Structures are given as structure tokens and as C-alpha cells.
Structure 1
Amino acid sequence: MRRLLVLLLALLVATPAAAQVRTGIDVLQQNGFAQLRAVAARHGGKLKLAVLANPISVNREGRRTIDVLRTEGQAAVPGMAVVKLFSGEHGINALTDDMDIDDKVDAASGLAITSLYGRTDAEKRPSAAQLAGLDAVVIDLQDAGVRYWTFQTLTKYFLQACAANGVEVIILDRPNPLGGLAVQGPVSTPGREDYTNAHSEPMRPGMTMGELATMFNAEDRIGAKLTVVRTTGWKRADWYDQTGLLWINPSPNLRSITQATAYAGTALLEGTNVNIKGPGEAPFLRFGAPWIKGTELAAYLNARGIAGVRFLPVTYVPANDKLYPFAGQRVQGVEVLLLDRDRIDAPALGVEAVAALWKLYGATFQIEKVDRLLRNRAVLDQIKAGVDPKRIAAGWQADLNRFKARRARYLLY
């Protein structure tokens, strides 16, 4: 028994405690809202704020950033008032995948919510009319660690619109949930920017939202008056489950850090004729279709020797939801088993999955739709030509190294 107690004590000592990370809203509170007082001073002692938020926009105690700013913030900064709310994809409560998210009223505060997730490009951008009368917009959004996470683009749209209309931008930064060390995947082709490709960057850029915003503002010469309230206590090697912060689903289909890890690669299949997500399933950890043979696909992918993962053949019935392919039909496919997240190159895993589906089921698989998120035609053409995915990944390293050199200028941690 004594030896067992000694062993347990040694394990406890050797196991690092979760970091005491404070996000931007926590730091803002801790500093007595000093950054907001500075912004108010630039506006004659008055500060009319809008807040861009979703369910993750809370402090360590779980209180909404909206409410913290309306109570302690307004008390600490005379002349400050939160007058408006904005929401992006999935809405302010992250409850839906729908594109038709109407403007609403926030029940707790009574403030109007302006939705910026419509069907047209104009409906996704804040307009001059929507920014009229504001002195600053506070953005408190969680990045998912991938380029095609639309909050990156929404943040860039706010930088552009606010710069054009004399409105300041204040970003309350948060840790990258996938850590800030790994920089992986093909760099998107310059000039192909859209709602899932805010900037020429790799699929997994290894940056926080504050760092990304600083890069967008500088490299695109936006010229927004930008303040980043930095996170404290976070180290770039920390994954989200090492921060001590509460996990809150940033979207209906990202329900865990494990799913977020796979999302950095398997999301390439989203929008194709493969089921990759849906209520009741394991989004981004499982994909299938009626024309896939699960045992065949799993055997092929396992034989590839992809670091950190194995593949399990599965059969399942996707939830009966119109948004997802083959809803209500029985499909076969694979489940991705993450064995060692520190060894996984998720974007390379995504390319391996695409290449496998093309090789085995090329007559049926809608490979062209992969470019929607890949945004690198040269890589897609190599996959279609049958080039080995490991060789393809080796080929994008030069572009990746150039991005890393650019990225280094904007790192805050």
C-alpha cells in the first residue's frame, strides 16, 4: 500500500496542472476595463459599443461578455454604453446550421441582434448603416484553429467596414483550441479569398483570432484602429483541454476538442456527396456514403500508415436532416480514431481521405467540390492525377515555410 501511495504521489507531481488561462474578457475585467477607458478618451469620453459574440463569449465564471460589459464595464467607464449586438454563422446561441438567421432581440439585455449570416455576400458584411453611431465594436469569438472557420472572415469584414466608417475594433483574444505550435496544410492560393478563405494561409495556421486580425490588418493594408486584449497564461503548446477553460460548442457540429482536431482535415469532404456531419453522429470523426465499402476504405487508409490515427469501418444512418447528405439512409464509411493528436497532421489526413475516395470510388465521388475549402487548385490537380499524398504534402512545405516567416511578425504569445 505504501508503495502504491508513493507511486500515486509521484504521478500527481509529474502531471502538469491545467494552466490558469485568462481570456481577453477576463483580462479586461482584471485591468478595470483600462483598454475601454483609453478608447473612450479618444472619443471625447463617450463610447457607444456593439458586441460581436456567440455562446463562447463568456468569462471564467461563465458570465456572458455582453453582460459583463453592460454591468461592470459601464460602471467602470463613464460614458460607455453597449447599444447593439452582432452575430455570425450559427447565430448568437450557436444552435443552427441554417443560413437564414433573422435579426432578433437578446432576451437578457433587450438589445437588438443584427445577424451577419445571410445568403448573399452583402448580408455577411457589416454595412455603414449598421455601424452608424458606433464608436467601437468589441469582438469576442473563438477561433477553431482552421482557415475555413468563418469567424476569421467575419472578423476581417469588420476590420474593413470599421476602417471605412471610423469605428474602432477591440478583440478580446482567446487561445487557439488546437494549440499555437503546429502550422500545417497547403497554403490557399492568393486571390481566391471568399467566406471560407479570408486570407492566403494554410488550413491550420496556428494563430489566435487576435494574431490573425493583426495579420489581416497589416498585410491587406486595411488600416483599422485595432486593439487586441491579450490572453494571459496560455502557452502555444497548450491544447484547449490544458487551459482550464470550459468547452462550449462553437457550432452545432463541433462538440469536443477531438472533433475540432479532425475538423482541421476531414472538413475537406464537407459539401461533397459524402456524409461528414449531422446531429446525433460524430461530426468530422466519421464519414460515409451508400457507395462506400467501409471495410475496403478502412483497409486502404490503414495501409497508408498515417501518423497518429487509425480507421474503423462503420455503418450508420445519418440523422434525418435536410442539410446533410443521405439523411435517413444507411451508409458505410470509416470512423477516424485519433491515437496521438501531437503526431497528427490533420490537413494531410484530409488530403489522404480525399485521395482514397478518388482512387477507390472516382466514378462517384464529387472531388471537384473539395476545392470549396481546399482553395488550392494545384493540390487538387495532383490528387486527381494520382500523385501520392505524402509527396503532395512534401510539395507544399516551401509555401508553408514562407507563411511561417510572415506569421512570425504577428505572434503575440
Structure 2
Amino acid sequence: MILGCEALLADNKKIESLKGKKIAMVVGPASVDSNLQSSFKLFLKKGLSINLLIGLQHGFEGDKQDNMIETPHDIKKNQSIPVYSLYSKTRRLNKEMLNQFDVLLFDIQDVGCRIYTYLTSLFYILEDCEKENKEVWVLDRPNPVGREVEGFLLQKELTSFVGAAPILLKHGLTLAEAALWYKNLKSLKINLVVIKMLNYYIDKEPWPKHLSWINPSPNLPRLSSTIIYPGSVLIEGTTLSEGRGTTRPLEIIGAPYLNTQKILEILKKDFLKYTKHCIIREMNFEPCFHKFKTESCKALQIHVDNKTYTQDFNAFSLMSVILKIIKTVHPKKDLWSKPPYEYEYKKMPIDLISGSYFLREWVDSGGHNNALEDQLKKDKEIWLKSRKDFLLY
């Protein structure tokens, strides 16, 4: 299997076509080849004129922990190439950046989830580059959570930086496929070049075994946390801890008061089908920072790094049901966190994350399971039709 960046590096004709052009590269800590060499440094060795580097949320070096922690521009790092941030005072390419390049190479590792802001940044970049007649080349990378989809379609009124288009929460696309889909959706007249991966079989092996996992952001340190993320990210919209400040962020859910024994009993008794393809166990943790800092939390940990896991694991439905049970077991606790969340100061974080008002209303009202399943099925059918013409693998 060959990554998009590796395919381009090996294509002498395309490399020659880029020589003499001013190039920008969007990269992060996971922008490496199979031997863990920095892709932008490899392109420099090929003789390309990289005029500027661009980092996204969590910073060019991937060192910023949390939401709304911005990274300033820096022109002193990395061989005197200026480093601009699209998670600073601006989340868009401005004139200063756009005037410095002809072609933008986008080489970012994504995690297959709408709320992960690298996807929104890609969509913004396509729009901004179209206006200034700039080329965009997307060097494709694996979607580690595969082709299966889940979650709600984004409601238009909940459009935000964590949801910029009517796409399912877990969308089942690579970033190159998403770029093609978005170009068509918005009828963008942009010169978009896709550099496909070679010998990539997303249905059989979403994350090829020969590739090392480099966390693309600080709180997805393991492949297993990425698999659980389409469900555990919902906890960011609650007063519960999603395990930030521990060694297992986004694999655990907890609070000092949580009656995990009762929650697990109800889950296994009434919602057993949602626990397929994973193992859930009780545990305790004490966060070093973030929610419940230095407090002992009772928690549930979701395990998918075992033989039970398949691509059919539905993290979103599982976490939705767990939230419903927690609301039942602890009815007097304020479950939902308040704004702001990712530069939205009025809308509820859980609504922005899920992309719909449905989940919060369903949990609060003690809605029937069939109502959740019916809505998820409806949204899934719409999304599968929307994406079908843009699959590359």
C-alpha cells in the first residue's frame, strides 16, 4: 500500500510539473511517509519550492491540547519557511497567505469524523483557493475507521467549524473523496488534483498494518481511541469527563458520582445489541487536567483492541444509549455542558457535535429506542446516496 504523498514523490512527471511553482503545504505531525519521514521535507529534497507551511487545529506540531486554544503564525521554524496557522485569529486563508503560492498541497491525516476540524479546514481551503484561482492537490491518506457510516446528517442551522456541510458524523470517506464530494456539492470551479493511494483496500483493512499510528491530535494517541471517537466525542458536549488528562482520552467516560455498576447493568439488560464488537468494563481514573482535575472518577472504558472489534462497531449509537441511561440513573445531574464550543457562543455544544437537536431531545425525554434507530437509518440512506459517486477505493 502506498500513501498519496509517496505516490506523488515517485511520480517524476508530476514532480517536474510542480517545479518552478510557488507551493504551500498543509501538514501536521502525522504528515509522514511509511518510514515516518516528514513529507514536506521529502518534497524539499525533490527540489520543490515550498514557500509556506500551514498548520490546522492543535498546531503545526500538534502540541495544543484543547478546543479554542489557538496557535499563532510563526516564521522562524523549519528552515526559515513561514508557518501560518488556520487555527488562530483566522480559520481561513487570507490574502497574505494566498499571495505566496500557486499550488497548495494538502497532506493531512484525518480520522473519518465530521466534527474533527481538519475536514472543515479542507472545505474552507477549497473555497478560498477557488476565489483566487489557486490549485489544490490532496495527497490522500487512509480513513482509519473505514467505510462504514453512522450518526446524524448535519442540520443546516447547526453549521459551524465542527460541521461545515450536510455530511454524516462518521462519513466513511478519505479526505480526497470528501474534497471531490464538496467540490460537487458547492459547484466549485477549482483545479482540484487528487493523488490517490495505491493498493488501499478500505473495506478490508482501513488502517494498513504496516503503518505506524501517529496521533494527528494530542487526544487520539491510539488507533482504538480513533475507532471509539465517533461516539466518545459526544462526551465533549456533556459535563462528564471524556478522559482528557489521562492516558486513555476518548476511550473512557466518567464522573465522581457515576453509578457505573447500575449503568452497566441496564446497558447489558436492555441494550445488549449496542455493545456488540466491543468490551465495556468499570474502572476509575483521576485526570491530571481538564474536567474533574485531580478528582477520582468512576468510569466506563470501551475496549475495541481485541478480537470482538469489526467495522460494524457503532460507537455513536452505543454512546447515545449510554447517555440516555446516565440521564435515567442520575436525573438531577446537569448532563449537558453550556456554550461556548468551537467559536459558537449560543448553541448547545451537544447539538453542534451531533449535528442535530434530535439526540439531546431524545435523551432528555427518555425517547423510545426505535425513534433513534429510525432517524439514524433515514440519515444514513440519504448520505450513502450522496457520497456514492465519489468513492475512489
Where does residue 17 of structure 1 map in the other structure?
none
Where does residue 122 of structure 2 map in the other structure?
155
Where does residue 104 of structure 1 map in the other structure?
74
- The worse-fitting range, judged by mean Cα deviation, of 378-387 and 200-209 is 378-387
Whether the aligned pair in 2 keeps the contact of 1:275 and 1:326 (CA below 8 Å) is yes
**Alignment partner of 1:71 out of 42, 45, 50:** 45
* Cα-Cα RMSD: 1.9
**Alignment partner of 1:231 out of 183, 189, 197:** 197
Aligned-pair CA distance for 1:194 = 1.1
Where does residue 262 of structure 1 map in the other structure?
228
Q: 1:242 to 1:31 in 2, by over 3 A?
A: same
Whether the aligned pair in 1 keeps the contact of 2:137 and 2:194 (CA below 8 Å) is yes
Q: 1:241 to 1:219 in 2, by over 3 A?
A: closer
Where does residue 402 of structure 1 map in the other structure?
382
Does 2:182 correspond to 1:202?
A: no
Where does residue 299 of structure 1 map in the other structure?
265
CA distance in 2, matches of 1:106, 1:350: 43
Where does residue 10 of structure 1 map in the other structure?
none
Aligned-pair CA distance for 1:191 = 4.2
Does 2:85 correspond to 1:115?
A: yes
Counterpart amino acid of residue 52 in structure 1? V
Does 2:140 correspond to 1:166?
A: no
**Alignment partner of 2:60 out of 84, 89, 92:** 92
CA distance in 1, matches of 2:132, 2:331: 49
Whether the aligned pair in 2 keeps the contact of 1:351 and 1:389 (CA below 8 Å) is no
Q: Percent identity?
A: 20
Q: State the aligned residue count.
A: 374
Where does residue 27 of structure 1 map in the other structure?
7
Q: 1:91 to 1:35 in 2, by over 3 A?
A: same
SS at match of 1:381: helix
CA distance in 1, matches of 2:209, 2:2: 9
Residue ranges of structure 1 left out of the alignment (5+ in a row): 1-20, 75-79
Where does residue 345 of structure 2 map in the other structure?
none
Where does residue 47 of structure 1 map in the other structure?
21
CA distance in 1, matches of 2:334, 2:205: 34
**Alignment partner of 2:321 out of 319, 332, 352:** 352
Whether the aligned pair in 2 keeps the contact of 1:234 and 1:243 (CA below 8 Å) is no
Aligned-pair CA distance for 1:116 = 1.3
SS at match of 2:156: coil
* Deviating 4+ runs (over 6 angstroms): none
CA distance in 2, matches of 1:389, 1:404: 23
CA distance in 2, matches of 1:391, 1:71: 56
CA distance in 2, matches of 1:197, 1:37: 37
Counterpart amino acid of residue 399 in structure 1? D
CA distance in 2, matches of 1:315, 1:230: 43
SS at match of 2:114: coil
Whether the aligned pair in 2 keeps the contact of 1:67 and 1:109 (CA below 8 Å) is no
Where does residue 145 of structure 1 map in the other structure?
112
**Alignment partner of 1:310 out of 279, 291, 296:** 279
Does 2:115 correspond to 1:136?
A: no
Q: 1:353 to 1:369 in 2, by over 3 A?
A: farther
SS at match of 1:141: coil
Aligned-pair CA distance for 1:243 = 4.3
Where does residue 275 of structure 1 map in the other structure?
241
- The worse-fitting range, judged by mean Cα deviation, of 186-195 and 255-264 is 186-195
SS at match of 1:90: coil
Where does residue 376 of structure 1 map in the other structure?
356
CA distance in 2, matches of 1:88, 1:208: 17
CA distance in 2, matches of 1:362, 1:216: 41
Aligned-pair CA distance for 1:271 = 3.6
How does the TM-score come out when normalised to structure 1? 0.86
Once the two structures are superposed, residues 380-407 of structure 1 have per-residue CA deviations (whole angstroms, 9 ceiling, x without a partner) of 3223221233541233212211210110
How does the TM-score come out when normalised to structure 2? 0.90
